[in-house]
Structure 1
Amino acid sequence: MNTEALENLNVDAQEILITPASLKSELPLSETAAATVSKSRQIIRDILDGKDQRLFVVVGPCSIHDTKAAMDYAQRLKGLAEKVEDTLHLVMRVYFEKPRTTVGWKGLINDPHLNDTFKIQEGLHIGRELLINICELGLPTSTEALDPISPQYMQDCIAWSAIGARTTESQTHREMASGLSSAVGFKNGTDGSLEVAINAMQSASKPHRFLGINNDGQVAVIHTRGNPYAHVVLRGGSAGPNYDSVHIKLAEAELAKHKLPANIMVDCSHANSNKQPELQPLVMENVTNQILEGNKSIVGLMVESHIHGGNQKIPDNLADLKYGVSVTDGCVGWEDTEAAILDMHNKLKDVLPNRR
C-alpha cells in the first residue's frame, strides 16, 4: 500500500523556517538590550518575592501591527517610566500573536503584511528587531507566549510573559511556561474561575519533559526545571469583573488554600472593563484605593493602551489604516494612560515603601 495516501492529506505545502540560532545571529541582542532584559526580570522576581515594594505595570497596545507606531509609543513610555520608576516598574506590552475564537488576523509574526500572505519568516525578523530596538531604549518588553515554538526565537528579549485565558488550561502551554526564562502570568479562565489558573501555576512550577525544538531548529525532547515565578492574572470573565476587593480576598484565600504565594496581577482590560477600554483608568484607580486601604497582594497591572484610543478594522486598502490605533481589542489613548499612571504614582509613592 502507498503510505503517501495516509499522510499530509490536508497539507498543501511545508516551508523550512530559519532556525532560532540563525535569526539570533542575524539580529543579535546588544549588551544594552540584554542588560535591560536582565535587570527587568530581576526587578519582577524581586517584586514577586516581596523584596521590591514597587508594582510592575505591563502597558501597551493590544497587538503590534505597525512598528513605527510601536517605537513612537515605546519612546513615550520610556519617558513616563523614568518619571515613576521609584514606585512603578513599567514594561511595554509587545504582543505579536493573537489567539482567535474562530478566524481573524493572527498577529505580526504570522501575517506581518496584514493581508493573509503569512510571511512568517519575515514576521520573525520584524518582531525580533522591534523587541531589540525597544530594549535598547532601556524599556523592558512583555508578550503572550502563544505558539510553543516562537519563544525559542524571542524569549531572550522578554522580561515578562503571559499565558492567555484561552490557553491557561492547555497542557502544552503549562509545560512551555515551566521552561520560560521570564516570570509568567496565567490568566483566569474565560468564565472568570481561578481553578484553571491555580492548576496551571502548580503545573508550571514543576519540571516537565515534552517535544519542542532546540536553538538549532532540531526536534528535541525539552527537559525543564519548572518556573517558580508563575502567578495569577485576574481578567474578569463571563460573570463580570473580578478586580474588586471582594474578588481579591477570594483569590487570596484560594491561593493560600493551595499554598501559593499571594501575588495577584489585575488585567484592567477585557471583562474587568466590560470591554470598554476607556474604563481602564477607573480599574487602576480602584486598585490604587485597595492598596491605600491596606491590600498587600496586588503586585501588578496590565493595561491595553495605544497612541490613540479605540480600535479599527483592518481595511482592504491598508493605506486607510489610522496611525496609532489598535486593529484588535480597543485601547485607552496615550493621554489618559499617562494621566492614570501618574495619578497612581502620586498616590502610592509614599505608601508602597511600607507596604510589606
Structure 2
Amino acid sequence: MQSEPQPLNSPEDLRAIRRVIREGGNPLTETDIPRWEDQVGVSRIVNRRVVELEPLPTPAKVLADMPLSEAAQNLVVSSRDAIRDVLHGRDDRLLVIVGPCSVHDPDAALDYAHRLAALRDELDGELLIVMRVYFEKPRTTVGWKGLINDPDIDGSHNIRKGLLLARRVLLGVLGQGVPAATEFLEPTSPQYIADAVSWGAIGARNTESQIHRQLASGLSMPIGFKNATDGSVKAAINGCYAAAQQHGFFGIDHLGRACVVETLGNPDCHVVLRGSSHGPNYDAASVAGAMDEARAEMPEGSAAACGLFVDCSHGNSGKDERRQAEVVREIAARLAAGERGIGGVMMESFIEGGSQPAGPLDTLVYGRSITDRCIAWPQTAELLRELAAAVAARR
C-alpha cells in the first residue's frame, strides 16, 4: 500500500490561517506560510480562493484500520438482497427507512439503533427495517453540512475527524444488528463508507445531477432517487434510467489516486416521492400516476417499474413531525385496504421529538434533531407497529 501523503503545513500553520480568516483577512496575502504550489513549483496563480488542501487518509487505509466484521458483512449482504426482493415484489414486506434527519451525536445514534434493533426483530415478519444514518446534509443556501463536514458543529470543518467518526457510527449500527441507509452527496465519501450501507438515496437537489447519476450507477446497493424540489417525478425516473446504464467518469480509487471509473449500471434504482414546494404527492392518485410514468419509461421488471417509496417527511408533511405521523397513518390505512405500488416508506425519527438549533454537542438536548423536526421514539414505535399490522391486513 502506498504511503499516506503528509500535510504541507503544521497544525500551528493551519491555526494561523484560520485565525486570519476569522478576523476577516486573506491568508493568501497576509501570511508567509508556505503553500503546496511553492513545494511543487507551480505558480500561485492557481487556487486563489483555496485556503488550504489538507490530505486525507486513503479509503484503503480507513477500511483496513476500521474493517467490517464478518457478521457486519453478512448483514450488509443479506439486507441488500432483502431490499432488492421487496423492490421487485418477491418479498411482500414493507421496507421502512427510519431514523434521525441527520446524525450529529454518535452516542445518541447508537442509542437509537439499540432501540430500533428490538423492534426490528419483533416486526421482521411484516417490515424490513433499515436505520436512516445520514452524515451529509445538502443546504438550500448555507448551514450545518453534517457530521462528516463539521463533526464538532462549530464551523471548524474537521473533515478527517468526521469521516472516521461516520464510519465508526456505521460499524456501531451494524453491530446492533441493524442495516443502514444514507444519502450520498459528495462523490468521494462513498469510498470511505459505502461498504457499510444497505440502501442509498440521491436527494431532491441532486436527482438531476449527472455526477450523482453516474455515482449511483456504480454503487453496490439499491438507490432511491427523490423527485426534484419542484415536484418533478420525471427527473427521478430519468435518474433511475441513467443510473441503470454503464458509465465512465472521473473519480478516485481506494488508494486515493485520480482514475477513470467504469461502471456496469445499477438496476435497483427506484423513485422516492417526497413532496415539493407545491405540496404533498403521497396520495393514491400521485402514487398511481408516478408508477404509470415509471412503467412507461423503465424496462419491464426493473425496480423502478415495480414500486416506489414514499418519504413521509419533507414536502409531504411540511417538515412538521405531527403531520408526518398523520401521513404514516394514512399510508398504513391504504396498505391495509390493499393498495399496491408502495414498496417502502421513510420516516424521520429520533429519541426526542422536534428539533433544536445547531450548536456544540455539550449545549444540546440529547437525542433531539438539529436539522429537520423528527417524530419522538415512543410514537415511532407505535407507528411501526401500525405499519406492520397494515401489511398483515394487506396479505
Fold shared per TM-score above 0.5:
yes
Q: How far off its partner does 1:292 sit?
A: 2.5
In structure 1, what is the equivalent of residue 335 of structure 2? Answer: 291
1:300 to 344, 348, 355: 344
CA deviation vs aligned residue, 1:220-242 (integer Å, no higher than 9, x gap): 10000000000000000121000
Q: Tell whether the 8 Å contact from 2:336 to 2:392 is kept in structure 1 after alignment.
A: no
CA deviation vs aligned residue, 1:38-61 (integer Å, no higher than 9, x gap): 110000011112111111100000
1:72 to 111, 123, 138: 111
In structure 1, what is the equivalent of residue 81 of structure 2? Answer: 42
Structure 1 residue identity aligned to 2:316: N
Residue 350 to residue 295, structure 1, CA distance change in 2 (3 Å): closer
Alignment partners' CA distance in 2, 1:218 and 1:224? 17
In structure 2, what is the equivalent of residue 271 of structure 1? Answer: 315
Alignment partners' CA distance in 2, 1:229 and 1:70? 28
Alignment partners' CA distance in 2, 1:226 and 1:280? 34
Structure 2 residue identity aligned to 1:225: L
1:332 to 351, 372, 375: 375
Structure 1 residue identity aligned to 2:329: E
1:153 is the counterpart of 2:196: no
Matched position secondary structure for 1:200: helix
Structure 2 residue identity aligned to 1:154: I
Structure 1 residue identity aligned to 2:392: K
Greater relative CO, 1 or 2 (CA 8 Å, sep 6+): 1
Structure 1 residue identity aligned to 2:367: G
In structure 2, what is the equivalent of residue 345 of structure 1? Answer: 388
Residue 71 to residue 5, structure 1, CA distance change in 2 (3 Å): closer
Alignment partners' CA distance in 2, 1:80 and 1:233? 24
Matched position secondary structure for 1:349: helix
In structure 1, what is the equivalent of residue 71 of structure 2? Answer: 32
Q: How far off its partner does 1:290 sit?
A: 2.0
After the TM superposition, which of the residue ranges 150-159 and 111-120 deviates more from structure 2? 111-120
Q: How far off its partner does 1:351 sit?
A: 2.4
Q: Tell whether the 8 Å contact from 1:64 to 1:94 is kept in structure 2 after alignment.
A: yes
Structure 2, unaligned runs of 5 or more: 1-40, 299-303
Matches within 5 A, 1:112-191: 112-191=151-230
Q: How far off its partner does 1:4 sit?
A: 1.6
Q: Tell whether the 8 Å contact from 2:152 to 2:361 is kept in structure 1 after alignment.
A: no
In structure 2, what is the equivalent of residue 314 of structure 1? Answer: 358
1:87 to 126, 131, 137: 126
Structure 2 residue identity aligned to 1:269: S
Alignment partners' CA distance in 2, 1:239 and 1:347? 29
Q: Tell whether the 8 Å contact from 2:288 to 2:341 is kept in structure 1 after alignment.
A: no
Structure 2 residue identity aligned to 1:137: Q
Alignment partners' CA distance in 2, 1:16 and 1:326? 31
In structure 1, what is the equivalent of residue 26 of structure 2? Answer: none
Structure 2 residue identity aligned to 1:109: I
Q: How far off its partner does 1:318 sit?
A: 4.1
In structure 1, what is the equivalent of residue 251 of structure 2? Answer: 212
Q: How far off its partner does 1:320 sit?
A: 2.0
Structure 2 residue identity aligned to 1:26: D
Aligned residues: 350
Alignment partners' CA distance in 2, 1:137 and 1:36? 10
Q: Tell whether the 8 Å contact from 2:335 to 2:390 is kept in structure 1 after alignment.
A: no
Query: Percent sequence identity over matched residues?
Result: 46
Structure 2 residue identity aligned to 1:337: T
Alignment partners' CA distance in 2, 1:341 and 1:279? 16
Q: How far off its partner does 1:103 sit?
A: 1.1
CA deviation vs aligned residue, 1:28-81 (integer Å, no higher than 9, x gap): 100111111111000001111211111110000000000110011000000111
Structure 1, unaligned runs of 5 or more: none
Matched position secondary structure for 2:211: helix
Q: How far off its partner does 1:6 sit?
A: 3.1
Q: Tell whether the 8 Å contact from 1:178 to 1:225 is kept in structure 2 after alignment.
A: yes
CA deviation vs aligned residue, 1:113-165 (integer Å, no higher than 9, x gap): 11111111111111101101111211000000000000000000000000000
In structure 2, what is the equivalent of residue 228 of structure 1? Answer: 267
With the length of structure 1 as denominator, give the TM-score of the two structures.
Answer: 0.96
Q: Tell whether the 8 Å contact from 1:109 to 1:123 is kept in structure 2 after alignment.
A: yes
Q: Tell whether the 8 Å contact from 1:36 to 1:136 is kept in structure 2 after alignment.
A: no
